[in-house]
Structure 1
Amino acid sequence: MEPIRRQQLIEATMAAIDEVGLADTTVAVIARRAGVSTGIISHYFGGKDGLLEATMRRILGDLGESVRQRRVILEQNTARGHLRAIVEGNFDRSQVSQSVMKTWLAFWATSMHKPTLQRLQYVNDRRLHSNLSYQFRRHMDRDSARRAASGLAALIDGLWLRGALAPEGINITRAVALAHEYVDEQLAGTTAAAQ
């Protein structure tokens, strides 16, 4: 029963954040949405912060899975292919639904004030940068690869954020195309240019 209950509470958290924002998403609101007592949230998560952390871990797990799925279908094990998989995974439907986007935004804002959430954000940020750097490093010197990775990470975050805040929502096709163009520009003139 526990995994089902935990999943139910995570879904209720995202729905509540989507509807009323993080500030007005109380343990009572989440419990009511999930049809459970507030004590269940304390039992499983220790409170609202613990539930937000669990919710973000689930969203990050979905992100990792979307990138893994794209890597599985790569025709060739190229840096370009892996970089594209990372880009596309970050704009996967699991990352751009309204409730997930609002949860991400709430998480980022809250992580500046909560050490446990700040650590989770740091780990996520470092993981992205490390994966991008590793792929660029296959065709560039270390410093160039790090710069290219920093640029692509900023572009992914910036495109995602602009889309999240736009009244019309995110244009996934355009965002992915812009990020792919950046990858192609960075790899131009390297041994990856022919791949």
Structure 2
Amino acid sequence: MTSTLRCLAEQGAAGASIRRIAAAAGVSTGLINHHYAHLEDLVAEAYDHLATRVLRDILAGVAEAGGDPRQRLTAFFTVSFSAAVLDPDYLSAWLVFWSMIRHSEAMKTVHTRTNEEYRRSLGDLLADLIRDRQPARTPDLRLAAAGLSALLDGLWLAWCLNPQGLTAQEGVAICEDWVEAHLR
């Protein structure tokens, strides 16, 4: 998957090919064609691999944060803006993935499943925080998770396009402020 991600980051969707990915991986095109009927299937698996890895890393950080709901949500944000997640090559690959979702059923399927897992994780953390805080108004968790997910996606995109325009700490602070404002 690393070679696929690297080719996508360097060449974009238009420049990625089975031949280039095979050369980057040091394998034959026949080997890749044996396992993947279409380039789209290989790219969809790379998307699944990356999205699953990122969420796994984020949730590992959440687990390490202990039982306090606020600290767990902060850990989610902190790992979301870690160097591993903000890797420019991975973010470039994300842009390619997102650009393919509208035109590829395989990509749409992976996106729908992984995005639902991501939002569900955010929703669970928000639900824990709401139970802990017992605010006067209980927000719609589905909408809150969707809004927070969209905020994170937008911040990642902004960082990808201009890494000097936003620090990781500022990204975390923006998310923290959003949660506090949303719970008021």
Q: TM-score under structure 1 normalisation?
A: 0.80
Q: Within 5 Å, which residues of 2 pair with 1:29-178?
A: 29-75=20-66, 77-138=67-128, 139=130, 143-166=139-162, 168=164, 171-178=167-174
Rounded Cα–Cα distance in structure 1 between residues aligned with 2:111 and 2:88: 20
Question: Structure 1 residue 135: deviation in Å?
Answer: 2.6
CA apart distance, 1:33: 1.4
Q: Deviations over 1:15-74 (max 9, x none)?
A: 212222121111111111122111111122333112111211221222122122212321
For 2:108 and 2:138, the matched residues in 1 are separated by: 27
| Cα pair distance change 1:92/1:56, threshold 3 Å | farther
Q: Number of paired residues?
A: 178
Q: How many percent identity over aligned positions?
A: 25
- SS of the aligned residue for 2:140 comes to helix
Q: Distance in 1 between matches of 2:181 and 2:157?
A: 22
Corresponding residue for 2:19?
Answer: 28
SS in 2 for 1:22: helix
TM-aligned CA distance change 1:169 to 1:103, over 3 Å:
farther
**Aligned-partner Cα distance in 1 for 2:141–2:15:** 42
* Aligned structure 1 segments of 4 or more residues deviating by more than 4 angstroms: 140-143
Change (3 A) 1:20 1:119: same
What are the ranges of 5 or more consecutive residues in structure 2 without an aligned counterpart? none
Task: Choose 10-19 or 127-136, whichever is displaced more.
Answer: 127-136
Q: Distance in 2 between matches of 1:55 and 1:150?
A: 24
Partner residue, 1:193: none
TM-score (norm 2): 0.85
Alpha-carbon distance in structure 2 between the residues aligned to 1:56 and 1:169: 26
